[in-house]
Chain A
Amino acid sequence: MVAPDELRVAATIENVSRVSDFVRDAGKRLQLTDDVLFDIDVAVEEASTNIVRHAYGPDHRGDMQVRVEAADDAVYVTLTDWGVPFDADSAHLDVDVPLEVRAEGGMGVLLVHKLMDGVTRKMASAPGGPNVLTLTKHIGVDVRPADADG
């Protein structure tokens, strides 16, 4: 197990890119390939955008926290918010519907599920409690942080 990286910021659209930067930096330290980093990058942006838009929305403020950790041959990215529990997986995208309809929503959730090997969601059991989304990406080789070399 490699020590986790963690960042907690206000859940705003502007901070989505801070979360993305943080996860990319952590991924580089873990020497993930560009392909794996890309998949995690997209999934994290989609998931954190959902937190800003749906867990809090325009009328509520709160934080989001991201944690990156690696064990054996997988990377785990955990996103936590303390907003309204939102079952993003219900925003199902039907890829057979016309383009105009498809553009309305559900694309982000589909990308998260297709690009990640595992997606688990734990909703808060009481108001204000943590909603925890864990994204798992298998990388085929044991994770080794860059600074562990030599």
Chain B
Amino acid sequence: MEITQRVEDGITVVQPDGRIDTLAAEQLDQALQATMAGGDHKIVMDMSKVEYISSAGLRSLAAVLVKCREEGGDMKLAALNERVTRVFKIIGFDILMSVSDTPEAAIAEFSASAAS
């Protein structure tokens, strides 16, 4: 799985490309841990290119969310496809995590919460 990262308005946007299965989840985990170790705790996960996720990927994302919030940041999700959304809903992550339609909307949410 390919993972690209970019910084927009001080927010790290992470875009995994492909299936987040058990092995790919380890790879995602390592990438995100490195990002957080670099001091970035405001993360948008651009899920537009993720066609599949299983519980291993959900566990990685949950761990990142908890760590980001501990450090005063947050992790927000964007652009989940319909099937991936269904998996999030079954586990109840759609309520616990902020989910936006686009990465831009997720970035804007960070700005809005900083302003309030």
Q: Is B105 an interface residue (CB 8 A)?
A: no
Interface size on A (CB < 8 Å)? Answer: 25
B22-69 with Cβ < 8 A to chain A: 22-23, 52, 54-56, 58-59, 62-63, 65-66
| Contact with B90, one of A14, A16, A41, A115 (Cβ below 8 angstroms) | A115
Q: Is the CB of B65 within 8 A of A49?
A: no
Q: Is the CB of B23 within 8 A of A13?
A: yes
| Contact with B91, one of A13, A16, A49, A107 (Cβ below 8 angstroms) | A107
Cβ–Cβ < 8 Å partners of A38 in chain B: 52, 83
Q: Is A110 an interface residue (CB 8 A)?
A: yes
Q: Is B21 an interface residue (CB 8 A)?
A: yes
Cβ–Cβ < 8 Å partners of A99 in chain B: 62, 65-66, 96
Q: Is A65 an interface residue (CB 8 A)?
A: no
Whether A13 contacts B22 in the complex (CB less than 8 A), given A46-B55, A107-B59, comes out as yes
**What total count of A-B pairs have CB within 8 Å?**
58
Q: Is the CB of A45 within 8 A of B91?
A: no
Q: Mark B61-81, 1 if CB is under 8 A from A, else 0.
A: 011011000000000000000
Q: Is the CB of B52 within 8 A of A111?
A: no
Interface size on B (CB < 8 Å)? Answer: 19
Q: Is the CB of A102 within 8 A of B83?
A: no
How far does the alpha carbon of A45 sit from the alpha carbon of B21 in the complex, in Å?
Answer: 8
| Contact with B63, one of A16, A35, A103, A115 (Cβ below 8 angstroms) | A103
Whether A35 contacts B83 in the complex (CB less than 8 A), given A107-B59, A108-B55, comes out as yes
Q: Mark A29-59, 1 if CB is under 8 A from B, else 0.
A: 0000011001001100110010000000000
Cβ–Cβ < 8 Å partners of B90 in chain A: 110-111, 114-115
| Contact with A108, one of B54, B63, B66 (Cβ below 8 angstroms) | B54
The 9 lowest CB-CB distance pairs between A and B, nearest first, are A107-B55, A103-B62, A108-B55, A95-B92, A114-B90, A38-B83, A45-B54, A103-B59, A42-B54
Taking A100-B62, A111-B90, A115-B90 as known contacts, 10 extra A-B pairs with beta carbons closer than 8 A to each other, sorted by chain A number, are A49-B22, A99-B62, A99-B65, A99-B66, A99-B96, A102-B62, A102-B92, A111-B55, A111-B87, A111-B91
